[in-house]
């Protein structure tokens, strides 16, 4: 097994391993690389739904997504699907999965079944690298701040996004989650400091004037969107990607109109998040 950095800021590529027959020693090495890099990418995997579930369960309990359409017979697996006649894709903007939950999901494991002939890449951004690149003045300003996250504006039945999305999300009446998390967290596994706000689900900085909150978030988002913090993944059928929601953003590009793109996703349960210490 070989593990090499995908970029300096985020991600690693794992080669020479079959995820259906991982030894305990291989899993320990993969787990360490995952938390160190924030995301792992495995090519040429041949996974049944049962294999996908078994690999996911080695990490933690499965967090069943309440809004995505499940694979028939496998409620643990959510479809990430865009048909040729659909215009809007799932995840088409920078975000972090499940930051609206009081205990956010640890990560997501996405397996590619059908990939368009071109386009459909996913961008990843590293939150530890982005935090470390902030100047000292901004780090002091962020110390101790908390942000509110929510999902009604995305998954709610009356949201503009749901209407634009063509009603493809289910269970929309339950899109009422809100949670407060540190703006700078201490990673539960590594202790590394990283930014934990995102354009998809962060609503505001708690106890801050709304205009100041918006300005600060916009400044952080502009900082994180600089390309030195990114890796662009070009999907292949049979590829599996997994990412740590506590240390990454991701963005599914919607540049393959008229083609089908279908992946299966399992979400892994996480733990409460702690404020980074000064």
Measure the CA–CA gap between 156 and 174, rounded to whole angstroms: 8
Q: How many domains does the chain have?
A: 1
Give the pLDDT of residue 260.
96
Give the pLDDT of residue 139.
97
Give the pLDDT of residue 241.
98
CATH code assigned at 153: 3.60.130.10
Give the pLDDT of residue 157.
60
Give the pLDDT of residue 63.
87
- Containing structural domain, residue 147: 2-275
Give the pLDDT of residue 167.
58
pLDDT in tens, 28-44: 999 999 999 999 999 99
CB atoms within 10 A of CB 66: 15
Q: Which residues of 145-160 are buried (b: 16+ CB within 10 A; e: fewer)?
A: bbbbbbbbbbbbeebe
Measure the CA–CA gap between 203 and 149, rounded to whole angstroms: 5
Q: Indicate which residues carry an active-site annotation.
A: 95, 97, 250, 265
At residue 128's C-alpha, the angle toward residues 125 and 130, to 5°, is 60
Bridge-based pairing of strands 39-42 and 12-15 is parallel
pTM above 0.85, yes or no: yes
Give the pLDDT of residue 70.
83
Measure the CA–CA gap between 120 and 263, rounded to whole angstroms: 11
- Mean pLDDT, 10 residues at a time, the chain of 278 residues: 96 97 96 97 97 97 81 93 89 89 94 96 98 98 95 62 58 65 96 96 96 98 98 98 97 96 96 81
Dmax (CA) for the chain in angstroms is 53
* Strand ranges in 83-213 using DSSP code E only, listed in sequence order: 107-114, 122-126, 146-150, 178-182, 184-186, 193-195, 202-205
Give the pLDDT of residue 20.
96
């Amino acid at each position: 097994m070989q593990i090499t950095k995908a970029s300096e800021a985020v991600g690693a590529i794992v080669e020479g391993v079959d995820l259906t027959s991982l030894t305990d020693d291989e899993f320990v090495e993969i787990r360490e690389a995952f938390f160190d890099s924030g995301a792992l990418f495995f090519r040429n995997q041949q996974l049944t739904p049962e294999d996908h579930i078994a690999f996911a369960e080695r990490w933690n309990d499965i967090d069943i997504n309440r809004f995505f359409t499940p694979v028939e017979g496998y409620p643990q697996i959510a479809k990430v699907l865009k048909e040729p006649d659909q215009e809007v894709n799932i995840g088409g903007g920078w975000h972090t999965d499940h930051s609206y939950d009081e205990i956010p999901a640890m990560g997501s494991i996405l397996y590619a079944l059908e990939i368009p002939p071109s386009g459909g890449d996913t961008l990843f951004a590293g939150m530890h690298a982005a935090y470390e690149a902030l100047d000292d003045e901004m780090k002091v300003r962020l110390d101790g701040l908390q942000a509110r996250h929510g999902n009604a504006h995305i998954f709610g039945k009356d949201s503009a996004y749901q209407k634009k999305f063509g009603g493809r999300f289910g269970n929309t009446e339950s899109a009422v989650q809100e949670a407060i998390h540190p703006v700078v967290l201490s990673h539960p596994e590594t202790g590394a400091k990283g930014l934990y706000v995102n354009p998809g689900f962060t609503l505001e900085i708690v106890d801050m004037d709304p205009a100041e909150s918006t300005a600060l978030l916009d400044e952080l988002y502009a900082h994180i969107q600089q390309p030195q913090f990114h890796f662009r993944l070009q999907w292949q059928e049979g590829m599996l990607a997994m990412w740590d929601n506590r240390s990454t953003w991701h963005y599914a590009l919607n540049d393959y109109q008229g083609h089908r793109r279908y992946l299966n996703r399992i979400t892994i349960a996480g733990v409460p998040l702690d404020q980074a210490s000064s």
